[in-house]
Chain A
């Protein structure tokens, strides 16, 4: 069960997107994904690398360019459906204003030959043509100072900034137009521990100071999500395998994959420290031709013949848990108990 619902800021229904390779093959990296993030809430998305979480981040923005293509489903931001809108209209009225994005590799996210302020000018002018430069500068300075960044950064070139500073500059730039929803794709993964902390604190600040209303935070580090977001969604091979509140996913997961994922991570949280660390054997399936049955079957400890017969649906149990497995919740829990002993 996810945390109690407020008014949905971001709602996604059965979104499917695919990559079309140069050999004209389709790779469905996001396969019928549904999710919802309420006002003032945050959602974490976790999974191994290659599970489609970064593609999901790109897909949520609703602005597609090759090789990524929209296939089906809808994205609703604060009651406004953006799928099916004219791409130029999306660019002008949605991007940066309604939904914004912090990229994975902030190191190279800024044009190396442009001063920060000039990029911010380009961003603002793309949405509000004719805004005086002076006004843009004032707004940028205010926003940067509010987020604890010196205004002098604005006059610098990206190469003149340190890694952590660059990432924080990117974050501040992403929210310059106060978007309702912010998608953060592993914003801290390439940084040292100190910078990581500062970046996480800054993102939480964005929520507290009301600059953004909802947050989608993507990472391969499950424990990090426990501290940052209200809900967590686990993805595997382009599909959602389990979704629930942070507590449920971290301490009491149902799906074998979520269990395995938690088991493969060193977690400093109390009560989990004595869990044995085990890597998940095998590799995720090739998305060019995914298996017909459960996609995790080949790597699952509890696999049964019927797992491989037909696609498995995401379903909600009577207790309110949402996961994608044909084995009933109770039976899974018994299996886990046996294993502990």
Chain B
């Protein structure tokens, strides 16, 4: 079988063995371990059963580590990076979009084409540009990794500081990418709300502009939660690629090593985990939205 990943491990393990039967024995031992000696449908059923028990098997490229072990060491980095970055980007984007809708002239004219261009920049493009400017040229931040490789992970201040320094560039590149699209959505939403009848009515009853802006911002922002829920999959995908650019020790690099190592168990488990994370985020956001927007509550009770 060409490109057989198990054969690759067996060859690695059998290095230095001279007799053919010994090599063959090693190969058989590993095909049994990975279950590739059984027919494909049976392999699939076994795999499904194991996954349901939370057992993803052994990683091929990082043998003898298990898939669960590889993923659990990287998932935390991805969560810690992407969750705050997407949230911060979403909030900043909404603020800027609302501001652009409110101020319009000048500000709008500069900010909108800029965010339109920004939002069209692929996530990896933004990552590379930030990396070149701030890590390679200005040398303010390190170019890669989640912490200084000379350090051993510990609860010390130095290690924390190293993590924080390594965190900045990946974080801000995800934030900047998120801002663009959100600002554009928020701006058109806010312009629509600013022209709503309730704005006019509140003005005619003498309600302060600052109060009215608050109404508009809130009403325009609520649907943006659904917008976030719908685009979270795309955002996470982009952020995973950005992680790779920075060699951040998260799931993005796990996928990369899995692809390079032809590691089937690892790649299926990683994609499964990411899908679950996205689904979880999606449903949490939908539930949150249903709880805080009275328009939805009323529609449901009807």
Contacts and interface: CB of A to CB of B under 8 A. Distances in A.
A and B touch in the complex (CB under 8 A): yes
Nearest to A119: B202
A176 to B, nearest CB: 8
Q: Which of A92, A113, A114, A157 has the most CB of B within 10 A?
A: A113
Contact of A159 (B202, B205, B215, B294): B294
A122 B202 contact: yes
Contacts of B198: 108-112
Interface stretch (A29-37, A99-107, A209-217, A315-323): A99-107
Contacts of B295: 112-113, 157, 159
B205 A157 contact: no
A113 B211 contact: no
Nearest to B294: A157
Interface in A47-63: 58, 61, 63
Given A109-B197, A112-B219, A159-B298, A95 B204 contact: yes
B32 interface: no
B293 interface: yes
B215 to A, nearest CB: 5
A111 B202 CA distance: 9
Given A111-B215, A113-B295, A160-B298, A101 B204 contact: yes
Q: Which of A58, A97, A119, A170 has the most CB of B within 10 A?
A: A119
A219 interface: no
A94 B202 CA distance: 14
Contacts of A108: 196-198
A264 B294 CA distance: 44
Contacts of A308: none
Q: Which of A96, A114, A174 has the most CB of B within 10 A?
A: A114
- Name B's interface SS: helix
Contact of B203 (A65, A111, A127, A159): A65
B164 interface: no
Interface residues of B, number: 23
Contacts of B206: 63, 91-92, 94-97, 123, 126-127
Nearest to B296: A159
A113 B196 contact: no
A96 B204 CA distance: 7
Q: Which of A96, A103, A111, A122 has the most CB of B within 10 A?
A: A111
A91 B218 CA distance: 23
A188 interface: no
Nearest to A105: B197
Contacts of A114: 215
Interface in B263-302: 293-295, 297-299
Given A126-B206, A126-B211, A127-B206, A109 B201 contact: yes
B33 interface: no
Contacts of B298: 157, 159-160
Interface string A159-199: 11000000000100110000000000000000000000000
User: Lowest 5 A-B CB distances belong to which pairs?
Assistant: A95-B206, A159-B298, A108-B197, A157-B294, A109-B201
Interface of A: 58, 61, 63, 65, 91-92, 94-97, 100-101, 103, 105, 107-114, 119, 122-123, 126-127, 157, 159-160, 170, 173-174
17 contacts: A61-B204, A95-B204, A95-B205, A96-B204, A101-B204, A109-B197, A110-B201, A111-B215, A112-B295, A113-B293, A113-B295, A119-B202, A122-B211, A127-B206, A157-B298, A159-B298, A160-B294
